Amino acid sequence: MKQMTVKELTSKVLNKESVFIFDVRNESDFHDWKIEGENFEYLNVPYFELIDGIEAVADRMPKDKDVVVVCAKGGSATFVAEQLEEAGFGNVYTLVDGMKAWSEHLHKAKVYEDEKMKVYQFIRIGKGCLSYMVISGNEALVVDPSRFVDVYENVANEEGVKITHIVDSHLHADHISGGRELAKHTRAKYYLMKSEGAVYDFEPLEAHDTIEFERVQLEVLAVKTPGHTPGSVSFFVNNQLLFSGDTIFVGGLGRPDLGGKAAEWAVDLYNTVYEKVAAIADDVIVLPGHYASLDDEMNNEGYIGDTLGNIRARNEMMQNKSQEEFIEMVVQNANSETPPNFEDIVAINRGLKTADAEQKQELEIGPNRCALHHTH
């Protein structure tokens, strides 16, 4: 039985290869969230319809392409793939550990390097979440880490640096932060806005206009760029890179409605976009906390990001809108689907709830739903 790892499938996505995905999960799960590739084809038939054989679908499957059979955790896919092989399909693979593994894989891409710093982006390809490592001298800063803290520790070891600073742009609603755990492992300082309401020990960003180490100066943007949550911040590094958290995306803005105060928080988001961000130069590279579409938002260098000038030009919400127009657009979009389990995830990130690894996995399953508006 041939197997494909999520790392191998990720490289097929990034290289825009042609793959046939045979997804044997329930239809509702498939329509909610699937593996996306520009040149991928799909067939979704629930596993329970295939228990007596695959004859009914055999004529809908290609014999001249790689076929990757996908299920939730890997078991059902193996059963179906064996039947396909017996029926004469040659290039059949099962995705190791299924969508569970797809949800958790981080792909490392280099974003930037000069004589002062090197920056990596970690793309959580099945979830649309982005995190970063900024390396300078012998130290590293991690931005918005996911809960897979060993990934950051391994890269720090490979680079021969020590993680000394960790920042979260806000308390995330769609995934569990690794900030606290990474700080515990590395003894790094962990920074978060006090106004986000976390109940554990951290360095409040309100007390730090800047964070400096080696040859890096990180400005906490006016200490507040609210909008998505009341304490959302953006980080401006060496006047060259803007880590925008969930405030500005390559194709949209952060949604301010998760707290149930869309109109109120939209005022903050408007002020952020039209006052604070308006003062930043067009050639600054924006590195967001999420993306919605790899095809639309990954650039030619292989990472998710763009210059602020290009983002402004593309995003009508950032172009000469009055406060009233802006709020109206936000409120119209405010009833879009919320991230599943977001209240539980925020409670865990705040320190009010605990969860084991399996519970965290279940809570996080599904796509990114933290963007308000995407332009294509």
Residues with catalytic roles:
71
Indicate the angle between helix axes 262-271 and 323-333, nearest 10 degrees.
130
Residue 191's contacts (CB-CB under 8 Å, 6 or more residues apart) are: 165, 166, 167, 168, 202, 203, 204, 205, 208, 211
For 254, phi and psi rounded to 5 degrees?
A: -65, 145
Residue 362, SS3 per DSSP: helix
| Strand partners of residue 110 | 120
Reported as half-sphere exposure (CB side, CA atoms, 13 A), residue 164 has a value of 15
CA 272 and chain centroid, separation: 22
Per the listing, tokens 């602020």 go with 308
Reported as half-sphere exposure (CB side, CA atoms, 13 A), residue 202 has a value of 29
Give Cα separations from 268 to 30, 87, 233, 253 (angstroms).
36, 60, 12, 12
d(CA 186, CA 156): 10
